[in-house]
Amino acid sequence: MSIFEGILTGFQVALSLKGLSFVFIGVVTGTIIGMIPGLGPITAIAVMIPITYGMDPALALLLMAGVYYGSAYGGAASSILLNAPGESMAVPTTFDGYPLAKQGKAGKALAIAALASFTGGTISVILLTLFAPFLAKVAISFGPAEYFALMLMGLMTVASFSSGSTIKALISATVGFIIATIGIDSQTGTARFTFGNINLMEGIDFLVIALGLFALAEVTSLIRERKERSMFDSEFGSMKLSKAEVKELSVPVTRQSLLGFIIGVLPGAGGTIASFLGYITEKKLSKKPEEFGKGSIVGLAAPESANNSASSGAFVPLLSLGIPGSGTTAVMLGALIVLGVQPGPLMISDHPDIFWGVIASMYIGNVILLILNLPLIPYISKLLKVPKPMLISLVIMFCIIGVYGISFRTFDLFLLVIFGIIGYFMARMNFPAAPMLLAFILGGMMERSLRQALTISDGSLLIFVQKPISATLLAIAFLSFIVPLLKTWRKRKSDGNAEETDSQAS
């Protein structure tokens, strides 16, 4: 099937009335969830998974693509209206988005964010269409050694790029991997760390971990803020943009869309880095850098197009290699597997309809976001007026339905609560949660490919360095782990010296 034919079949499903309505439902639901402070795409996708259970996979994909884009946009909307970013990648959106809203230009800010996301998404999906089949062709020659090296590199870079201490991020990742070892070992049939509990035999469902660490843990900060009235009351203003404004935005938005895509494809980097980098570069390149932070439209558009483009770029390794590069794509992988879709290099050649279905869904999700969702934003944002106590109860209820709807066991609900508690303490002690989720999802795959590789080499570890691709990937993984550690060590050493001189002086 040629690329063109593939796209056409993909769009055929997406453009049916049923298809469009599912995208629309997804976009609106995603926007609503994304608008709730603290909840982002990970929660939105995780909560929607049980609903897609048993649905026609093509339609379910459309729904999920809608949820994905909708929740990212909902996060931008809460950044603009409430100065409350749902997750780290929406933080730069607040820098200029919130000042614009305070000036009574909320409508315009929301329109710019939607337009910038749309452009970023469009450029990114086009590049994805061209790039993913190529990467998949390369990946067909990959053996277990290369896969293992690739996943290790992805995990290491995510850990070293995440905010805060690298050691803490690595600990998060290791613990995630350890949790993945619970259950029956697929190669030997040995029950590991189940302590005779039947419920643990199949391992822990990733939904339990995603909803526990992200949604349920976030409930505690909602509880602490329950008395604050963080609603948006000022005027929305017009949503129209002038021709001059569109012209001013066109170059930065295009530039950031391209840059965002490249960052998104790299494992580990992703939306957060893209949006911060986008904001900083446009500020440097701008003729009016003094406007940044006070309501510059370029300052709002740049991070939005960059992070949306990066989010779609992250689908390149997910679809062509079957390997997620971030927490969000990891949950997306889980959602795809529930639908019976196994991404990977063979998907494009064996199931082109599904591959192009995903691409078409993403594109349609993007379009619907702009033309149907945007006009509804003033109404959707009324939901922000739902009182916090009620909101907290509802978020907890959705987490419970999400887990129960897929496992039908109260045991998993208790696990959910345990992971919620772990997530709460991790957040308080600045342990990032994303590496844990990613390591948990990659863990099973990594162990399998490691053991397959060692079976091929008859137990010799040399297989990983004798193959050029895996050797290179492992070298990158090693460097991304060792460089930040060396940095902190050197910093510590110089700090230590300073302290010594201090004590001598006193």
Which residue lies nearer to another protein by CB, 280 or 400?
Answer: 400
Tell me which residues in 348-387 interact with another protein (CB under 8 A): 387
CA atoms of 450 and 461, how far apart (whole Å): 10
Residue 418 touching another protein (CB under 8 A): no
Minimum CB separation of residue 354 from another protein in Å reads 22
Residue 178 touching another protein (CB under 8 A): yes
| Residue 105 φ/ψ, nearest 5 degrees | -110, 35
For residue 466, the 8-state DSSP code is: H
Residue 167 touching another protein (CB under 8 A): yes
Which residue lies nearer to another protein by CB, 54 or 340?
Answer: 54
DSSP bridge partners of 192: 183
What is the H or E stretch that residue 230 is in? none
Helix (H, G, I), strand (E, B) or coil at 210: helix
DSSP bridge partners of 183: 192
Binding-site string for another protein from residue 443 to residue 482, where x marks contact by CB under 8 A and - marks none:
----x--xx--xx--xx-----------------------
Which residue lies nearer to another protein by CB, 349 or 466?
Answer: 466
Number of continuous H segments (helices) and E segments (strands) in the chain: 23, 2
Nearest to 87 by CA among 34, 129, 30: 34
Minimum CB separation of residue 32 from another protein in Å reads 14
Residue 414 touching another protein (CB under 8 A): yes
Residue 390 touching another protein (CB under 8 A): yes
Which of these segments, 73-81, 228-236, 373-381, 394-402, binds another protein (CB under 8 A)? 394-402
C-alpha distances in angstroms, 69 versus 101, 296, 411?
22, 24, 32
Residue 392 touching another protein (CB under 8 A): yes
CA atoms of 455 and 452, how far apart (whole Å): 5
How many residues touch another protein under the rule CB under 8 A: the total is 62
Which of 378, 495, 497, 500 is close enough to bind another protein by CB under 8 A? 495
Residue 18 touching another protein (CB under 8 A): no
Minimum CB separation of residue 499 from another protein in Å reads 10
Which of these segments, 28-36, 81-89, 350-358, 412-420, binds another protein (CB under 8 A)? 412-420
C-alpha distances in angstroms, 94 versus 27, 77, 395, 478?
22, 9, 24, 35
Minimum CB separation of residue 2 from another protein in Å reads 37
Residue 51 touching another protein (CB under 8 A): yes
Angle (CA) 264 269 275, round 5°: 70
C-alpha distances in angstroms, 202 versus 96, 186, 276, 476?
47, 10, 40, 33
Minimum CB separation of residue 225 from another protein in Å reads 10
What is the H or E stretch that residue 281 is in? helix 271-285
Which of these segments, 10-18, 161-169, 296-304, 354-362, binds another protein (CB under 8 A)? 161-169
Residue 397 touching another protein (CB under 8 A): yes
Q: Residue 75 is encoded by which pair of tokens?
A: 């996060």
Per 3-state DSSP, the chain is made up of helix, strand and coil in percentages (nearest 5) of: 80, 0, 20
Angle (CA) 166 326 3, round 5°: 145
Angle (CA) 440 443 447, round 5°: 165
Q: Residue 408 is encoded by which pair of tokens?
A: 């039908």
Which of 241, 280, 380, 400 is close enough to bind another protein by CB under 8 A? 400
Helix (H, G, I), strand (E, B) or coil at 250: helix
Residue 255 touching another protein (CB under 8 A): no
Residue 492 touching another protein (CB under 8 A): yes
Minimum CB separation of residue 453 from another protein in Å reads 9
Which of 170, 204, 239, 265 is close enough to bind another protein by CB under 8 A? 170
Binding-site string for another protein from residue 181 to residue 220, where x marks contact by CB under 8 A and - marks none:
x---x-xxxx-xx-------------------------xx
Residue 163 touching another protein (CB under 8 A): no
Minimum CB separation of residue 111 from another protein in Å reads 32
Which residue lies nearer to another protein by CB, 3 or 397?
Answer: 397
Residue 224 touching another protein (CB under 8 A): yes
Minimum CB separation of residue 167 from another protein in Å reads 5
Minimum CB separation of residue 474 from another protein in Å reads 15
Q: What is the DSSP string of 365-424?
A: HHHHIIIIIHHHHHHHGGGGGS-HHHHHHHHHHHHHHHHHHHH--HHHHHHHHHHHHHHH
Spatial contact of 138 and 468, defined as CB atoms under 8 Å apart: no
Interaction site with another protein (CB under 8 A): 50-51, 53-55, 164-165, 167-168, 170-171, 174-175, 177-178, 181, 185, 187-190, 192-193, 219-220, 223-224, 226-227, 387-390, 392-394, 396-397, 400-401, 404-405, 408, 410, 413-414, 417, 421, 428-430, 447, 450-451, 454-455, 458-459, 485, 488, 492, 495
